[in-house]
Structure formats: C-alpha cells, structure tokens
Amino acid sequence: MPVFKVNVKWQKETHKQVELSTDEPPELFKAGLFSLTNVPPDRQKVMVKGTVIKDDWTPALPKLKNGVTLLMMGTAEELPQAPVEKTVFLEDMSESQLVSALDIVPGLKNLGNTCYMNSTVQVLKTVPELRNALERYQANNMNTNDGDLSGAITSSLKELFLQMDEKRQAEITPFVLVQLLRMHYPQFNEKNNEGHFVQQDANECFLEFMRILQTNLKAIDSPAGRRRKDLVEQLFGVDFEVTMKCKDEQALEEPASTFAETSLQINCFITAETKYMMTGINSKFSETISKRSPTLDRDAEYQRTSKVKRLPAYLCVQMVRFFYKEKEKVNAKILKNVVFPMRFDMYELCTSELQQKLKPMREKFMAEEERKNEEKAAMKMKDAPPKASQKTTIEDVECEPFEFPDDPGSSNSGYYELQGVITHQGRSSSSGHYVGWVRKSGDEWLKCDDDTVSPQTTEEILKLSGGGDWHVAYLLLYGPQRLPKRGDSDTGKVQACETVPMETDGAK
C-alpha cells in the first residue's frame, strides 16, 4: 500500500510526519488534517508543488514522496453569516429555507448503515448543557498519530452541532464524524463479504460517545458536596447503594455487605410478564443471584437489593430487547409491547435519605397541580372555556432549579419528562434500521429518519412501545421536569414548563 510521510504547512505551523495513503480517498486524509488543524474539510485547499488535491490522487501522484511538503489553506474560524435576504413566502421557499422557517432540525445523511450514529447524535443534541459545553470546548491535543482520536471526535461533534444549529440546509453529511468514529473504533468499521459497512448497535454508539465526552468535557464546579469527575457523570450519572445478603440458612449470621455503584443509564429487562417500563426496571433492583459465600466456602444464593442514592438531571433508560440466540448465532430482538410513560417518577426506587431530600421540590409540584385543578374547577363552575396557553420555549419561562445547589447536574425532584427516543425496526441488532425521535416543544415531536425529518405528535410517540415490526423504543432519554416560578403561571408562559407528576406505569 503506497503510504508516505509528508509535512503539511498551514499558516505559520508545519505538521511533520503526517501519514498519507493513496489507497484511501483524499477526503479521509483531509479528515485527518481536520483533527490536526480544526479546519473542516470543506474549507481546506491542499496543494503539492502547485497541484491542487481534489477528489482523487491521480494528478498529484508524480509529486508525492516521503518528506514532501504540502501547502494547506483554510480557516478554522466560523464562516461569516449569509446576508439578510428579502422576505420569502412558504410556498416559494427551498427545502433548506423551510427547515429554518419551520424550526425543524436538519437531517443527517446515511453514509453506509450509519443510522445508529445519526439517531444517537439527534438525541444527544436535545441536552442543552451538553451543547453549551461543546460550544466552549477547545481541543488540547489534536495529534492523531498516537491513535487517540477522542479530541478530534469531540471537535467534530461540536462542528456538526453548530452546522445543525445554523439550519442552512435540510441535510448535512457528517462525513468527518463517521470517518473518525470508524478510525477510532474498529467495530464501527466492520464490513460484510460484499464490502458494505454492516449495521451497528445504537446503544453501543451512544455509550462510546458518552465515554469520549467524559474524557474531554470538564465537570461544572461545585461549591460543596461530592466532586464529580466530568460533565457527563454530572448530567447522566446514577449512583446506587447495593446490598448483598446471603439467603442460605447455614449462613444467616453472615453480615450483609453494602457497596456503591455508578452507571450512565438504567436498564429495563423484559420478560413475558413485563408490561410496563417501571416493572422491567424494578425487576433488577431486587433479585436473587449466585455467588461464593466466604462463610460457607461455596456458592450460595444472595439477595441483591439496589437503591438510588443520587439521581441525574437526565435519565437514560435502555430497553434490553436483544439477546443472543446460540443456534442462529444472532442477537435476536424481543418485540413485546412494553409501555413507557411520557412522564416518569423515580421516587420509589430511591434510598430513604434521598427521598427526604426530594420532598421539598415534590411538594412544590403538588401545590402547582392543586392550583391548576382548582382553577379548572372554578372555570367549569363559571361554564367558561379554558384559558388558551401560549406556546413558548423553555427559555422564555423562569423555572425553579431542577438540581441541588451542591450537586450540579442532579435531579432535586425525581420527576422526569421524555425528550428523546431511539427506535429500532427489524429482528436483530445486526440488521434493521434506527430512527431518532426528539421533542420539539410540548406535544410537538420530530422524527429524524436519517436525512428525512418530519413533524410528529405525542400520540405517535406512544405507539413506539413495541408489539410488532414497527419502530420499537430501544433507548429513552428523560430530562428534568420543569416547574415555573410563581408569578409566571398567570402570564400564559406556562406551556413549555408545565410539568406536573403523572403515573410511572402506563402512558395516560
């Protein structure tokens, strides 16, 4: 394979011993230059001795050799904003103009079974604290020669989010992010016998993004309390208190052991009896397992009991729908209908200490619910039509804090509201199709099917619970329910912040 070690001069910097392979397209080489300079490939102009390198190496091949210097031009700064255009009516708008006017997120082009990544990106983008942290992110080490591409992947995700926020086009091609992800993780670069990229698991991709961001995004400083290691752990980390007690009658005197665990998501295990998400989650919070007893010096049954001692602001729930079939050698899928709620309460799964801490904010939610019920009753007595709510974004409403003062990124109520779903359609994890569904505002949702984005309603989201070959919820992202501060409630600005508690089982 023709591989050269070349130098790349950009502005006042010269990057030496950069690997260049002519067996790979120039786009991949430019993706590596992006990781070195933070100049996106579409802004790069690369030349070797006066010859511009475009879509193939052919014109530049005679001039390529070890030690040759390539000249690169391009800026890492944001491009200037397009000039303000005159008013255009909806019927005269292009597809990209409609995306901006109707406030629809751009779609992401599928680059060879990359729907697992596209759906993950769309759901991750619903977390505002994550978006803000990425905007502030500055890579410390963009050198990819050591094989560590986490900084480059973080920068690429930052650039992709910025492109999506600009809404200049209906479809964005995430070429750099896909290439970097495949370079960093061999499993995402796997191909079948025909040379096509194979389908990958969206939850695996979600967790790999989480681990990368853990490395690069710093935690929010806390004045007191436990210091969290990184921003991802602050926003998504669930702390558990686990107790193990031997059930064998011959070891009843063996003291119970208690230890701590932390996870970035909780699992909903599905059996024939599982009808609701809460049931599947609760099944693993109290279970019988087998392990070696130091008292009996043999394996024995233990009761493992888990309680949550710290809730994050964002709760990620994985529906464990895939299991390995030994005979068919495939990760088969459980299609069973498991109802998930639009609003979710974690209170009963928490330790008594955490429950006491959650009560003050929960009482405020209850008071707001009572106020609304009294208002509705009064309006009914007067035979007056209900007040029309103004549709606003959450930024328009001043809300109560959703986190404890000494624990940034936590939940101080235990109440959550669904804001993103990744679904899978198909019969195994190595085939089928992933789609992202994200809440726009209130009951307005968007279906992000790769490059096609379409409006949806809450009613359509509730149909994703399973039971057939339709899209089935695989990963659910819950965000903090928001409570408007008193004073805003009477201004009509409550729509986006209206988050009263509902049942944990079912979706009424």
CB atoms within 10 A of CB 223: 7
- Rounded-to-integer distance, Cα 177 and Cα 169, Å: 18
- Given CA atoms 453, 456, 461, 464 in this order, what sign does their dihedral have? negative
β-bridge pairing 107-108 and 315-320 = unpaired
Give the SS3 label for residue 420.
strand
Contact between 334 and 270 under an 8 Å Cβ cutoff? The reply is yes
Residue type, 310: R
SS (H, E, C) 301-359: EEEEEEEEEECECCEEEEEECEEEECCCCEEEECCCCCECCCEEECHHHECHHHHHHHH
CB atoms within 10 A of CB 99: 21
**Dihedrals φ, ψ of 355, to 5°?**
-60, -40
- Rounded-to-integer distance, Cα 46 and Cα 23, Å: 18
Contact between 40 and 34 under an 8 Å Cβ cutoff? The reply is yes
- Rounded-to-integer distance, Cα 428 and Cα 201, Å: 10
The residue with tokens 């059996």 is 271
Which of 228, 243, 213, 370 lies closest to 313, judged by CA?
228
- Alpha carbon distance, N-terminus to C-terminus of the chain: 61
Give the SS3 label for residue 64.
coil
Contact between 344 and 280 under an 8 Å Cβ cutoff? The reply is no
β-bridge pairing 298-310 and 472-480 = unpaired
- Rounded-to-integer distance, Cα 361 and Cα 33, Å: 50
Task: Please report how the helices 115-124 and 202-216 are oriented relative to each other, as an axis angle in degrees rounded to 10.
Answer: 50
Which of 388, 392, 418 lies closest to 317, judged by CA?
418
Contact between 453 and 447 under an 8 Å Cβ cutoff? The reply is yes
Instruction: Please give the positions annotated as active site.
Output: 115, 433
Give the SS3 label for residue 155.
helix
- Given CA atoms 90, 94, 99, 101 in this order, what sign does their dihedral have? negative
